[in-house]
Each structure stands twice: as C-alpha cells, then as structure tokens.
C-alpha cells in the first residue's frame, strides 16, 4: 500500500473487485450510503449469520428464533420512544452547504483537546523516563487539569442543553467554541434542528385511508411485541431469550465510512428476559459470552475493547459497547444493554394488554427485565473483511494479496483446479467437484495459469486449492494447497471431505465458547 493511502479505500476497492460489495444501483451512479453484497459478499454474510445463529439459538437451549415483519403497527414506535426521541441534532454550514451532526462536531472538538492531553502526557514520559507516574502527572499537571476542566465544562453544557431541549444553546456552544466547517472553514452556521431518523411511508392504496408506517429502525421491538406469543406457544420459562436477524433502517444524517454506517442495514439482536433483580448478573454473562464469540474467530484479541456507557439511554441501567479496531480506529461493533422493563411496560401501557410472566414457583406475575445483545451484521462483515485483508511479501520478493478469513466464514471452501484443460483432467476435476458440492461451496476453475488461479483464490479467502494433475489419473491423489502457509501436500481424493470439513466447520470455533 502506498504511504498515506487511506486503508479504507483499499478495502473498498478489493471488496468491489472480487465481488464482495458493490455500490447500490451503480449504473445510475449509486445511491449514497447504500450497498449491495455481490456473489462473494452474500456468502460471507450468510456465514456470519450462521455463526451467530448457531452460537445464540442452537447452542443455548433457552433461546429461540423469530422473524418479525419490517412494518409494525405505528403505535409500536410511540411506545418505544422512537417517534418522540429518536433524533439527531443537525446543523448546516451556510457556505459549504454541508450538513453535520451537532453532537459529532462537539465530540470532534473534545477529541482535539484529548489529543493535547495525550501530547502533554507523552512529553512527560519522555522527560521523566522510567520515573514517570502517569496517574500523578494527570492529577497535578496544570495544562492537563485546565484541559480536563474544559472538556467537563463542554460536556456539562451540551448535556444540559440537550436535556432541556435548548437547541439554541447547542448552536451557541458551537459558536463559542469557534468550531469551523471542515470543508469551507467558515463559522456561518444555521440553527440546530432535531431530525428524526425513522423513514416513514404510507400504508394503503388511497390517501384517505392511508396511515403512516415506519421502516423499523431496530429489530428489537418485533421481539418485544411477540414476547407473550413466543413465551406461551414455546412454553418458555424465565430466563429465556428471543433472537432475530433482520433489516433495520435509519435516515442517518451523515452516512459514510463504507458499510460501517448505512441507511439500510442488518442487525442480529437477542433479547434475554430475566427476573427483575437478576439483570446485572445476566448483563455480565452476556458481555462475556459475546466477547468470547468475537475472539473465537481469531481476528486478534487486541482488536477488541469494551467501552462502558457513562451516559445511558433513558431505558438502560447498564450498557457497554464492544468496540473493534476498524481501519478508521476503534468504533462500536456491538452493544450489550440492560434495558430494564422499559419496553415491555411501555407496550403494556400503549396496548392495554398485560405483558407479564407467571412465575409458578413463586406464584407471582411480573414484567420481566431484559438484557439485550445487538450487533450490526454489516459492521461485523467490515470487521472480518478489513482485518483479514493482507498484503504479504513472499520469499521470492513478490507480493500477494490474501484474505485470511476464518475458514468457517470463507465464501468458497475449496477450489478444484485441473492443471491443464486436456488429457481428461477437467473430467476428473469435475468428478471431485460433483462429490463435494453437497457439503461445501466449491469453485471449479480451469482458466489461466495455476499460479494466477491460486492468487485469485487467495484474494477471496479460499482456505484450500485442490490441483488435479496427470498423477491424479493414475493413483487417485491430488495436491491440496493451504491458503495461509501456501504449502502443498499430496493426498488421496477420498480424504478430501474430512480434510476440508475439519478446517471449515463451525464446530471448532464454537467449541471454544463452551470452554
């Protein structure tokens, strides 16, 4: 990669070139922040879903699945708070005509001050060497203290302005801090307005009888409104969970950074219903389970960190993000939230129906508390894809682009490559293909030199390349090349199934969750 090249750009280019992700409706120049998954992307995405579904639903006997509709009764979103409060404060720069989230402008400003603090700390370390005590330095250095006070003052004022719905003061804060538009450099701002992130449309064929419905901004509410249906028909006993994978839609003000922030995306969510008072134990349980699920993929333990929420959503009594080191830095990949009984209580109130659980052992009824795990499938795709793409220098001085995907997630598990297009080798290769195709996604490729074909498979992350040569016709053996070590081994054709199965099965990865 050329120096200073944006690493995300290379990832976007690779994703497009090899059929993972395309800009949506590209022949019409695309649609902003909307993407299509290509022939390889669809496979990778399905495999991530399967890894999640198996770990959450199949491996936990008290978790079941659900597939709710995207459209829901509009009152759902009144009850959940989304109609009134699912807003972002937006502001436009009058000169560049660019639109920003006011909170992001302020957060970026704070990040700059944090950068100054980090610089002071680094200077201290340089000066005092091993004798440097960072904690003491932060507690006493006048520059650091002044900057910390500054950050606290900004945070306090911003929080108060949002709580009081005082958008004029949010604008004044931006002006007082002297924040300029990154594009035009001007401080010529419009007023701050609240912008609801839900997409709406009309249900019904005539304007008269039509009612406004929303495209769901999260999949969770489909689970809450079905809580009793599932509990009763599945005879579920608390604690139990309902899991769902599905599309969600948010009219994000600034959607960028590829598939990290889109307007149409997919979520994998699980709501776990527990007895009130036990929620914080379950919250810890699910934090641990989810971080283990991530780490079992071997993308590098240092790529993850927890970020505990200091400012909680109104419905939560504990919340943490699992952050991943994306090409643009550590960012939220998944949220684990203890949502109390906020949602079920709100739906009871708005629907007039009881949403309670009868605890036979204690002979009482109660509204369960909920611990939620919520991960964006597209963000998970980006995490896996970006951390797997590597440019490797080889012994002979050449380089290769390789996608070291976890084999269980690889779109293609093995490629069958006849060494030449004649002498009966293609027929033999097709025979092997026909045998393996029921169990694995296999590619047959006879075009170009064998070296080029290996590179193509490396670039899409195929764990095995199987070459059929003249010896194969004589003794029923083939060579099998390992993507990561590039080593080749001659094996009997009859052994191919078990060799591939052992490497690509989810079992090896999932077993780690139980240890």
Give the interface with ligand ATP as residue ranges (CB under 6 A): 218, 250, 252, 261-262, 265, 267, 332-335, 374-376, 378-379
Which helix (H) or strand (E) element contains residue 373? strand 369-376
DSSP-H helix ranges across 296-356: 342-351
Q: How far is the CB of 270 from ligand ATP (least distance, A)?
A: 12
Q: Among residues 241 and 376, whose Cβ is nearest to ligand ATP?
A: 376
Q: Among residues 262 and 425, whose Cβ is nearest to ligand ATP?
A: 262
The rounded distance, in Å, linking the Cα atoms of 333 and 55 is: 17
Q: Among residues 30 and 444, whose Cβ is nearest to ligand ATP?
A: 30
Close Cβ partners of 428 (under 8 Å, ≥ 6 residues apart): 418, 468, 472, 473
Q: Among residues 262 and 432, whose Cβ is nearest to ligand ATP?
A: 262
Count other C-beta atoms under 10 Å from residue 165's C-beta. Answer: 10
The rounded distance, in Å, linking the Cα atoms of 371 and 274 is: 8
Please say whether the beta carbons of 286 and 373 come within 8 A: yes
Best CA proximity match to 116, nearest among 148, 139, 140: 148
Using a 10 angstrom Cβ sphere, with 0-12 exposed, 13-18 middle and 19 or more buried, the burial of residue 44 is: buried
Best CA proximity match to 390, nearest among 37, 7, 5: 7
Best CA proximity match to 471, nearest among 402, 404, 419, 409: 419
Q: Among residues 261 and 456, whose Cβ is nearest to ligand ATP?
A: 261
Q: Among residues 255 and 425, whose Cβ is nearest to ligand ATP?
A: 255
The rounded distance, in Å, linking the Cα atoms of 418 and 439 is: 21
Q: Among residues 284 and 332, whose Cβ is nearest to ligand ATP?
A: 332
Q: Among residues 246 and 463, whose Cβ is nearest to ligand ATP?
A: 246
Phi-psi region of 57 (alpha: psi -120 to 50; beta: other; left: phi over 0): alpha
Write the CA distances from 59 to 51, 271, 297, 378, integer angstroms: 11, 16, 17, 23
Best CA proximity match to 375, nearest among 297, 302, 460, 314: 297
The rounded distance, in Å, linking the Cα atoms of 454 and 486 is: 9
Q: How far is the CB of 143 from ligand ATP (least distance, A)?
A: 31
Q: Which residues of 234-271 are buried (b: 16+ CB within 10 A; e: fewer)?
A: eebebbbbbbbbbebbbbbbebebbbbbbbbbbbbbbb
Q: Among residues 261 and 413, whose Cβ is nearest to ligand ATP?
A: 261
Which helix (H) or strand (E) element contains residue 281? helix 279-295
Q: How far is the CB of 448 from ligand ATP (least distance, A)?
A: 37
Best CA proximity match to 186, nearest among 107, 103, 94: 94
Q: Among residues 341 and 378, whose Cβ is nearest to ligand ATP?
A: 378
Q: Among residues 120 and 252, whose Cβ is nearest to ligand ATP?
A: 252
Q: Among residues 158 and 454, whose Cβ is nearest to ligand ATP?
A: 158
Q: Among residues 34 and 278, whose Cβ is nearest to ligand ATP?
A: 34
Q: How far is the CB of 336 from ligand ATP (least distance, A)?
A: 10
Please say whether the beta carbons of 257 and 251 come within 8 A: no
What backbone phi and psi angles, to 5 degrees, belong to 358? -95, 115
What angle (nearest 5°) sits at the alpha carbon of residue 398, between those of residues 392 and 401? 35
- Write 112-119 long-range contacts (CB < 8 A, 24+): 113/147, 113/150, 113/151, 114/151, 116/143, 116/147, 117/144, 117/147, 117/148
Best CA proximity match to 372, nearest among 392, 344, 352: 344
């Amino acid at each position: 990669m050329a120096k200073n090249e944006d690493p995300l750009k290379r990832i976007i280019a690779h994703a497009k070139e090899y059929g993972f992700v395309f800009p949506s409706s590209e022949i019409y120049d695309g649609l902003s922040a909307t993407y299509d998954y290509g022939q390889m992307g669809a496979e990778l995405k399905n495999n991530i879903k399967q890894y999640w579904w198996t770990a959450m639903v199949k491996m936990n006997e008290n978790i079941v699945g659900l597939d709710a509709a995207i459209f829901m009764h509009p009152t759902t979103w009144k009850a959940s708070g989304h109609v009134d409060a699912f807003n972002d404060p937006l502001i436009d720069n009058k000169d560049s005509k660019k639109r920003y989230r006011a909170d992001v402008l302020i957060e970026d400003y704070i990040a700059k001050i944090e950068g100054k603090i980090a610089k002071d700390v680094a200077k201290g370390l340089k000066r005092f060497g091993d004798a440097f005590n960072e904690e003491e330095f932060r507690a006493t250095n006048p520059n650091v203290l002044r900057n910390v006070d500054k950050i606290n003052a900004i945070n306090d004022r911003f929080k108060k302005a949002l709580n009081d719905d005082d958008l004029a003061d949010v604008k004044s804060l931006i002006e007082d801090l002297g924040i300029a538009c990154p594009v035009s450099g001007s401080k010529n701002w419009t007023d701050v307005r609240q912008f609801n992130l839900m997409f709406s449309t009309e249900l019904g064929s005539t304007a008269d009888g039509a009612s406004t419905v929303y495209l769901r901004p999260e999949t969770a509410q489909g689970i809450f409104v079905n809580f009793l249906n599932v509990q009763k028909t599945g005879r579920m006993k608390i604690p139990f969970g309902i899991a769902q994978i599905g599309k969600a839609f948010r009219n994000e003000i600034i959607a960028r950074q590829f598939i990290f922030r889109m307007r149409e995306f997919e979520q994998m969510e699980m709501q776990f219903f527990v007895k009130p008072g036990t929620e914080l134990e379950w919250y810890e349980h699910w934090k641990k389970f989810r971080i283990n699920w991530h780490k079992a993929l071997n993308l590098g333990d240092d790529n993850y960190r927890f970020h505990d929420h200091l400012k909680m959503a109104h419905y939560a009594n504990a919340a943490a993000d699992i952050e991943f080191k994306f090409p643009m830095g550590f960012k939220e990949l998944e949220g684990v939230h203890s949502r109390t009984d906020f949602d079920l209580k709100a739906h009871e109130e708005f629907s007039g129906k009881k949403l309670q659980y009868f605890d036979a052992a204690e002979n009482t009824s109660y509204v369960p508390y909920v611990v939620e795990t919520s991960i964006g499938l597209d963000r998970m795709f980006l995490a896996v894809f970006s951390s797997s793409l590597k440019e490797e220098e080889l012994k002979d001085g050449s380089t290769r682009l390789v996608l070291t995907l976890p084999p269980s997630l690889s779109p293609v598990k093995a490629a069958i490559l006849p060494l030449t297009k004649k002498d009966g080798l293609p027929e033999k290769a097709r025979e092997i293909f026909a045998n393996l195709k029921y169990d694995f996604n296999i590619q047959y490729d006879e075009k170009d030199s064998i070296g080029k074909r290996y590179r193509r498979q490396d670039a899409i992350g195929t764990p095995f390349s199987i070459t059929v040569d003249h010896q194969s016709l004589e003794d029923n053996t083939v060579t099998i090349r390992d993507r990561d070590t590039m080593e080749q081994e001659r094996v009997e054709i009859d052994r191919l199934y078990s060799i591939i199965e052992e490497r690509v099965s989810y079992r090896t990865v999932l077993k780690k969750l139980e240890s």
